[in-house]
Amino acid sequence: MQKRVFIVDDEPKIGTLFTNVLERDGYHVEAFVNPVRMLDELGDREPPDVILADMMMPEMTGVELLDALNEREVGVPVIIMTAHSSVQTAVEAMRQGAFHYLQKPVNLEEMRALLEKAIDLYGAQQELDEIKEKQQAEYPISGILGESDPIVQVRETIQTLTGASNTTVLFSGETGTGKNLAAQTLHYNSARSREAFTEINCAALPDNLLEAELFGYEKGAFTDASNAKPGMFEIADGGTLFLDEIDSMSLALQAKLLSFLESRTFRRLGGVEDRTVNTRVLCATNADLESSVKDKTFRKDLFFRINVVNVKMPALRHMERDVMIIADSLIDRFNNELKRNVQGFTEDAEAKMLDHMWPGNVRELRNVLERAMIFAQDVRITAEDLTLAPPSQIGDVHGTAGAFQFPLGRTIEDLEKAYILRTLQTRDESYASIADSLGISKKTLWDKRKRYNLDEQVER
């Protein structure tokens, strides 16, 4: 598509010269001798890709033109042309939003290079803005569904926190309660929404790999470090880093995280240079951190540092009839994804939904409804369509393992795999707590999860 350039200069010869030059380069060019007229034209038309404007004009200066464009919210790059004696004024114009300046008499090659750079950067920024607008639309605060008091409190807290874009926040609650959704909602509705939202599950990596992922490393920092690599703190600079299952972090790494939170300064592994970033940190846990502090498995000073604001995500069983509000939303979503036309639930199905304790919370609800909508034969979901695990299989609401049956004739390895899998599926606790209940170390549990490929069978 042909790029459009507006030239604004009170000397007609300048406009004619630049028009001839740039049209030969493939641009669509319009020249104006009066900036006021150019502004009037913008009121009825699509703005150009770039504006080339003289600094000193009778009707208004280049700086005044910038102010007028900003008032009209015309986000177009502006290149100022100025005489040698007004270079300082042009620099001031850049401070107020001008893309760059050209000194008269204008070097045509320099002008071409600046125009190309301005258009490329403007196009990239437009694409980024469109992506961010789409993300903001996907994560409205109203998207945290429910009308019960606990969920209303969550939305109100997040709304308040959008204006405190540096505050560290702890999201706590059982597995599947939507801590990740709440964190993303906070990010995309805050002043940091135009920058990256980056997340990492602290339980998914052993400590040495987690440290390298968070802080990055220099070439030669360890055997396989053939190149330097930035860490998550750098990648999320200006944006948000979400640390899920923060309770799984070792005490040594907790100390390094605390140091970063206090100073926003760190060193890459193997590095000597202090690096400072402006990264907001959000944390999440399904563990009782106060108990972990008492057990000395979580640092007390770090707990106080990340617990500035604690957003407690309620369990689905404590949200009254919100289960049906969320279920209706999920039906709309799956109707689109599965090309179905399910209209809701029968009375028996609704009663069954409200009677269930939902130990897996919203994640469990989503999985149950997806399966029900795949196999449902009617326009409404029936009680028979809902496959809900009975209490004897899921344990009680506090996450106890419940009954476990295993056929004879299978290997010890099969038994170990099945038992660990069942424990992971039914316990709403951290990996550290689960490992302790199994009588193994957290590292051993991590090794067995990878060996048996269990993470693909468990949503946490």
Confidence of residue 392 (pLDDT cuts 50, 70, 90): very low
pLDDT the model gives residue 215: 95
What's the confidence (pLDDT) of residue 398?
36
**For position 256, what pLDDT does the model report?**
96
Phi, psi of 229 (to 5 degrees): -145, 125
Helix H or strand E segment including 53? strand 50-54
For the cut 60, the answer to whether the pLDDT of residue 391 exceeds it is no
pLDDT, position 404: 63
Percent of residues, the chain, with pLDDT higher than 70: 92
291 vs 278: CA distance, rounded Å: 31
pLDDT at position 71: 84
Model confidence pLDDT, tens digit, residues 364-388: 999 999 999 999 999 999 999 999 8
Other Cβ atoms closer than 10 A to 323 = 21
Query: Given this model, what pLDDT does residue 394 score?
Result: 43
Token couple for 398? 């506090």
Gap between the Cα atoms of 143 and 182, Å rounded: 9
Better pLDDT: 301 or 208 = 301
Closest CA to 281 of 296, 265, 260, 297: 260
pLDDT band at 429 (very low <50, low <70, confident <90, very high): confident
Domain 321-388 listed as CATH 1.10.8.60? yes
Residue 79 has pLDDT above 70, yes or no: yes
Measure the CA–CA gap between 365 and 357, rounded to whole angstroms: 10
Give the pLDDT band of residue 328 (cuts 50, 70, 90). very high
Length of the chain: 460
Could you give the CA distance from residue 37 to residue 397 in angstroms, rounded to a whole number? 70
Beta bridge partners of 32: 8
Judged by DSSP in three states, 313 sits in coil
- Average pLDDT score over residue span 125-134: 69
pLDDT band at 395 (very low <50, low <70, confident <90, very high): very low
Tokens of 138: 């996907």
Per-residue confidence at 120, pLDDT binned at 50, 70, 90? confident
First CA to last CA across the chain, in angstroms? Answer: 47
- What are the helix (H) ranges across 44-107? 62-71, 87-95
Nearest CA among 70, 22, 32, 28 for reference residue 49: 28
Binning pLDDT at 50, 70 and 90, where does residue 397 land?
Answer: very low
| 396 vs 161, higher pLDDT | 161
Q: Which of 166, 250, 162 is nearest to 209 (CA)?
A: 250
Per the CB < 8 A criterion, the answer to whether 214 and 231 are in contact is: yes
Q: What is the CATH number of domain 4-134?
A: 3.40.50.2300
Mean pLDDT of the chain: 87
Q: Which tens digits make up the pLDDT trace of 49-74?
A: 999 999 888 888 888 888 888 888 88
The fourth-level CATH superfamily of domain 139-314 is: P-loop containing nucleotide triphosphate hydrolases (3.40.50.300)
What pLDDT is stored for residue 153 in this prediction? Answer: 95
Query: In this structure, are residues 142 and 158 in contact, taking their beta carbons and an 8 Å threshold?
Result: no
Beta strands across the sheet bearing 100-103: 28-32, 4-8, 50-54, 78-82, 100-103
pTM of the entire structure?
0.64
Domain segments of the chain as ranges: 4-134, 139-314, 321-388, 390-460
Range 194-202 average pLDDT: 92
Whether 135 has a pLDDT exceeding 80, the answer reads: no
Flag whether pLDDT at 161 surpasses 70: yes
pLDDT of residue 406: 66
Q: For residue 276, what is the enclosing H or E element?
A: strand 275-276
Same fold, 139-314 and 321-388: no
User: What pLDDT does residue 331 have?
Assistant: 95
User: pLDDT exceeding 90 applies to what percent of the chain?
Assistant: 52
Q: pLDDT band at residue 360, thresholds of 50, 70 and 90?
A: confident
